[in-house]
Amino acid sequence: MKRLDTLEFEPRFARLGDAFSAVIKPSAIAQPLLVICSQSALALLDLPASTAEDPRLLQLASGEWHWPNVAPRAMVYSGHQFGGYTPRLGDGRGLLLGEVVNNAGEHWDVHLKGAGLTPFSRTGDGRAVLRSSIREFLASEYLHTLGIATSRALCVADSKTMVWREQRETAATLIRLAPSHIRFGHFEYFYYNQKNAELEQLHAHVLNDLYPECLSADEPLAALLSAVVKRTAETIALWQAYGFCHGVMNTDNMSILGLTFDFGPYAFLDDFKQAHICNHSDHHGRYAFNQQVAMGYWNLTAFAETLTRHVAVERLQEILDGYAAIQQQAYLTAMRARLGLRGEQEGDALLVDKLLAQMDHSAVDYTLFFRHLGELPVAEALAKLRDDFINRAAFDEWSAEFIARNADDPRSQEQRRAQMHAVNPLYMLRNYLIQIAIEAAEDGDYAPLHRLHQVLSSPFTEQEGCAEYAQRPPDWGKHLSISCSS
C-alpha cells in the first residue's frame, strides 16, 4: 500500500509539451470538506481505505496542495457541440494533476475538476458545483459496478467558496481517474488547426501508450480507428441495454478509450421511454436515448475525419461501416443475458424490439422489469408483469413467443434466477434517489449520500433493510428536470 505522497508518476501526456496543455496551478476552494470518497477508486492507486481520513486527500481535492514534482496541466482540445464545431474548448475548470503508475503497472490520470480558472475557461468561472460533482461521482462508480467502461471518481469535496449558477451555490471539486483524458476533440483541435506535427505527436502518444496493439498493424492509424470504433460501439451498446442516457455526447466528451466520460445531465431510465431526452437544453433531442447509437457513429465519423491526411478515406469508411454490426452484436449479447435467453437464435433481435415497443407505450420500469422476470419461473413472472403493459393483447402475444423461446431451457429456476440476477440490478441509480442525497448534502448531511453509494456498490445483491432503494420513483421524482448548468 502507498500514501498520497509516495505515488509514482510517468508523464506520458505531459511530456508532449506546451502545445498540448498549459501549466496552471489549482486555485483552492475555501474551508473544504470531504463529502465522499470511493474506496474501490482509492485501490486503483494502491491507496488504503484509510486515505479517506488523510488530510492530504482533502488538500489535494481542494487545490491547496498538489504533487511538488508534477506540474498540473490544463489540456487543450476542441469539439463538435450539438453538431456545430467549436474551435477551442479545453479544460476550462479541470486540471490533470498527475499521471500515476500503480503497482500493477496501470496508468491513471488524476484529474481535479473544479480547480479554478485556466486559459480555456472562456466565460466560465472555472468551478463545479456540489450537485453536479455528486452526480458525476455516483454515476462513475455505479457504471463501473454494472461493468460499463467509464472514468472513475475518487472523491468529492465541498467548500464555502460561492459561485453563481441559476442561484448561489457552493463550489465543489471532484477527483476523476481515467487511464487517459484524451478525447476525440483532441484530434479535432490539431487537425482543424492544421498543426500536423502536433497531430502526429498525438498519434504517436495514443498508439504507443494507449493502443500499443495497433502498432504492429499494416496501418496503425487504421487499426486505431477500428479499436476506437469497437470500444465505443460496445460501451454505447451497454448504455442502451441498461437504460443509460448520457445527455451530452459532444465529441469533446467522447473518450478515445471508449469510456463513458464527462457526465452532465445524464439519466438512467425509470419508465422505459425510447425517445427520452435527459438534458433539458437538448431542445431537438439530438442526444435522446434512442439517438445515442447514431450519435456514436456521428462522433466516430468526426474522429475519422481527423485521420484523413494519414489514411485513405475508403479505408476509414470501411472501418466505420463495421460500427453498426459490432454495436448490435454487443447489444444483443447484453439483452439476451438480461432476458435470461440461452444461446443465440435468429429471432432474438426482433423479440427484443417487440418487447421494447410495448414497454414504450406503457409505464414499465425498465430496471425492475428484468429483475422481476428472473424472480419467478417464466410464465408466472410474465403473468405478474403483464399488469404494467397498456396493450395486454400485444404483451400476451409477445409472452407466448418468449415462452416458446425458453421452451428447451434445461436450467432449474434457481439457476435461471441466479444467472439473471447477476446481470439485472435490483438497485438503480435513479434520479430521484440522487436528488434526495444531493439535497441532504447541500444541507451538510452526507449520510444519505454515503448510504446510497454503499447500496449501489452491490446493485445485484438484495440487501437487508434496503427495500426503499429498489422502488419506482414517487410522483415528484418521475420527471425531474436536470439542469445542465454544472
Kindly give, in sequence order, each residue whose CB lies less than 8 Å from that of residue 191, ignoring residues fewer than 6 positions away.
199, 305, 306, 309
d(CA 156, CA 33): 9
Residue 31's region, left for phi above 0, alpha for psi from -120 to 50, else beta, is left
Query: Which element (helix H / strand E) includes 95?
Result: strand 94-101
Distances (CA, A) of 152 to 135, 145, 318: 12, 11, 33
Please, are residues 269 and 370 in contact by the beta-carbon 8 Å criterion? no
Does residue number 169 form part of the binding site for ligand AMP (CB under 6 A)?
Answer: no
Tell me which of 46, 54, 109, 262 binds ligand AMP, using CB under 6 A. 262
Interface mask (CB under 6 A) for ligand AMP, residues 72-91, using x and -? -----------------xxx
Q: State the nearest-atom distance from the C-beta of 486 to Mg ion, in Å.
A: 10
What b/e readout covers 307-346, taking b as 16+ CB neighbours within 10 angstroms? Answer: beebbeeebbeebbeebeebbeebbbbbbbbbbbbeeeee
Tell me which of 264, 265, 459, 473 binds ligand AMP, using CB under 6 A. 264
Does residue number 253 form part of the binding site for ligand AMP (CB under 6 A)?
Answer: yes
DSSP per residue, 355-414:
HHHHHHTTT-BHHHHHHHHHHS-HHHHHHHHGGG-S-HHHHHHHHHHHHHHTTT--S-HH
User: Which residue, 239 or 366, has its beta carbon nearer to Mg ion?
Assistant: 239
Q: Which residues form the interface with Mg ion (CB under 5 A)?
A: 253, 262
Q: State the nearest-atom distance from the C-beta of 174 to ligand AMP, in Å.
A: 11
Question: Per CB under 6 A, which of residues 101..140 are in contact with ligand AMP?
Answer: 120-121, 124-127
Tell me which of 66, 73, 93, 152 binds ligand AMP, using CB under 6 A. 93
Residue with cell 417487440: 354
445: its cell numbers: 448531511
Q: State the nearest-atom distance from the C-beta of 471 to Mg ion, in Å.
A: 32
Residue with cell 487511464: 179
Q: State the nearest-atom distance from the C-beta of 276 to ligand AMP, in Å.
A: 20
Please, are residues 26 and 72 in contact by the beta-carbon 8 Å criterion? yes
Nearest by Cα to 142 from 472, 480, 431: 431
3-state helix, strand, coil split of the chain in percent (to 5) is 45, 15, 40
State which residue has the least CB distance to Mg ion.
262
Question: Which entry of Mg ion, ligand AMP, none binds 261, CB below 5 to 8 A by partner kind?
Answer: none
Residues 185, 186, 192: CA angle, nearest 5 degrees: 80
User: Which residue, 27 or 457, has its beta carbon nearer to ligand AMP?
Assistant: 27
Q: State the nearest-atom distance from the C-beta of 79 to ligand AMP, in Å.
A: 8
Does residue number 27 form part of the binding site for ligand AMP (CB under 6 A)?
Answer: no
User: Which residue, 127 or 421, has its beta carbon nearer to ligand AMP?
Assistant: 127
Kindly give, in sequence order, each residue whose CB lies less than 8 Å from that of residue 405, ignoring residues fewer than 6 positions away.
341, 345, 347, 348, 351
User: Which residue, 142 or 261, has its beta carbon nearer to ligand AMP?
Assistant: 261
Q: State the nearest-atom distance from the C-beta of 97 to ligand AMP, in Å.
A: 15
Tell me which of 19, 44, 70, 92 binds ligand AMP, using CB under 6 A. 92
Question: Which entry of Mg ion, ligand AMP, none binds 91, CB below 5 to 8 A by partner kind?
Answer: ligand AMP
User: Which residue, 181 or 416, has its beta carbon nearer to Mg ion?
Assistant: 181
The residues carrying an active-site annotation are 252
User: Which residue, 115 or 316, has its beta carbon nearer to ligand AMP?
Assistant: 115
User: Which residue, 81 or 471, has its beta carbon nearer to Mg ion?
Assistant: 81
Q: State the nearest-atom distance from the C-beta of 198 to ligand AMP, in Å.
A: 19
Point out which residues bind ligand AMP (CB under 6 A). 89-93, 120-121, 124-127, 248, 253, 262, 264, 486
